[in-house]
Amino acid sequence: MGQYIVRRLLLAIPVLVVVSILIFGGTRVVPGDICFIVLGSAEGATRERCDDIEHELGLDRPVVQQYFTWAANALQGDLGRSMVQRRPVLEVMGDRIPTTVELTLLASVLAVVVALPIGVYSALKQDKLPDVVLRVVTIGWLSMPSFWVGTMLVTLPAVWWGYATPVPYVQFWVDPLKNLEQMYLPAISLALALSATLARLTRSSMLEVLRQDYVRTARAKGLQERVVLSKHALKNAMLPVITLVGIQLGFLLSGTVVLEFLFALPGLGTLLIESVITKDFAQVQGLVLFFAIMILLINIAVDLSYALFDPRVRYT
């Protein structure tokens, strides 16, 4: 397994190189004068002052040299300094990462907890009334974008009951109950469409597994239906579900932008919006590179988890 992990990490290097080039090149073509961004306004932006700022940031050097300098520093854990907050990029991200990770994990757990029972039950009741009803419900969930669900969860409770999630944001370790009260609505908004996708995939995978010979053999041996489902059917039906969870987990981590902004959560999503608006390209580069690394690591972890569910999978 160790050799497999090393190979996967080596294969990830070209991907990160391409991503870093695209990030770096993309931020350089964004219109705007970096001098005004750093100074905050055009006042006092003399040519001499702007030249000093460009020299301080290394922008007076060729673009290729700038990229290799940034890449070399990134390999040492230095993603530069935020031009707006005047703090290291990693330090700014470190303040926001817990919020985004918590929201992503809450949404993922909620989606799995809701989807698996629906998918299994729907497969067991194939083409009967409960199956039809659950399929219609999941299609409905799929048709509702997360930002629309979030908007409704903010607006309707406020209009009907005068309820609004508490602000400002409180970290989980400071006040767990208040933190969860702030997080459960955005988590539901993110989890709804994901749970629908997982439920439908679980149903399809379970139907395929339930038709296999080893399931019929387990039933013929007199095993209880609960044992047949949990130890023989569900475990083997999990591989495609795990794959989808891993893919969606990566997208959830980098796709919380709108909901964090909507619910006023200080996560990486709101930081990305703020950085794009203020054209803080050093912060944007660090955020996108972080998201790319996390997606690659999540995919490797998902591949490794296959061995836990399928004994035929071996990593050599």
Mean pLDDT, the chain, integer:
82
pLDDT at 176: 85
Long-range contacts of 226-235 (CB under 8 A, 24+ apart): 229/120, 229/124, 233/206, 233/209, 234/116, 234/120, 234/206, 235/309
Measured in whole angstroms, the distance separating CA 179 from the mean position of its chain's CA atoms is: 20
Considering only CA atoms, which of 250, 132, 246, 144 is closest in space to residue 188? Answer: 144
Query: Does the residue 80 lie in any domain?
Result: no
Query: Is the model's pTM score more than 0.95?
Result: no
Q: Based on the structure, what is the number of domains in the chain?
A: 2
Are 171 and 250 contained in the same domain? yes
pLDDT at 278: 77
Are 215 and 170 contained in the same domain? yes
Are 70 and 94 contained in the same domain? no
Query: Does the residue 217 lie in any domain?
Result: yes
Considering only CA atoms, which of 141, 101, 79, 91 is closest in space to residue 250? Answer: 101
Distance in angstroms (rounded) separating the CA atoms of residues 209 and 242:
15
pLDDT at 68: 87
Are 11 and 96 contained in the same domain? no
pLDDT in 10s for each residue of the chain, 316 residues: 677 778 888 888 888 888 888 888 877 776 666 666 666 555 555 666 777 766 766 667 777 888 888 888 888 888 888 877 778 888 888 888 888 888 888 998 999 999 999 998 998 888 889 889 999 999 888 888 888 888 888 888 888 888 877 777 888 888 888 888 888 888 998 888 888 989 999 899 888 888 888 888 888 888 888 888 877 788 788 888 888 888 888 777 766 778 888 888 888 888 888 888 777 888 888 888 888 888 888 888 887 777 776 666 666 6
Are 157 and 96 contained in the same domain? yes
- State the residue range of the domain holding 38: 2-75
Measured in whole angstroms, the distance separating CA 299 from the mean position of its chain's CA atoms is: 12
Query: Does the residue 104 lie in any domain?
Result: yes
Hey, which residues does 81 pair with through a beta bridge?
A: 88
Quick one: DSSP state of residue 121? H
Are 51 and 98 contained in the same domain? no
Are 173 and 265 contained in the same domain? yes
Q: Using the 3D structure, point to which of 42, 75, 108 is the last residue of a domain.
A: 75
Are 220 and 289 contained in the same domain? yes
Are 7 and 115 contained in the same domain? no
Are 50 and 149 contained in the same domain? no
Residues 230-267 pLDDT 10s: 777 887 888 888 888 888 887 777 667 788 888 888 88
Considering only CA atoms, which of 152, 252, 156, 128 is closest in space to residue 197? Answer: 252
Distance in angstroms (rounded) separating the CA atoms of residues 301 and 192:
24
The CATH code of the domain that includes 292 is: 1.10.3720.10
Share of the chain above pLDDT 70, in %: 87
Query: Does the residue 81 lie in any domain?
Result: no
Query: Does the residue 84 lie in any domain?
Result: no
pLDDT at 315: 62
Query: Does the residue 211 lie in any domain?
Result: yes
Are 304 and 156 contained in the same domain? yes
Considering only CA atoms, which of 308, 299, 285 is closest in space to residue 28? Answer: 285
pLDDT at 1: 66
Q: Using the 3D structure, point to which of 75, 99, 114 is the last residue of a domain.
A: 75
Q: Using the 3D structure, point to which of 75, 103, 135 is the last residue of a domain.
A: 75
pLDDT at 262: 83
pLDDT at 114: 92
Query: Does the residue 83 lie in any domain?
Result: no
Are 189 and 70 contained in the same domain? no
Distance in angstroms (rounded) separating the CA atoms of residues 149 and 185:
9
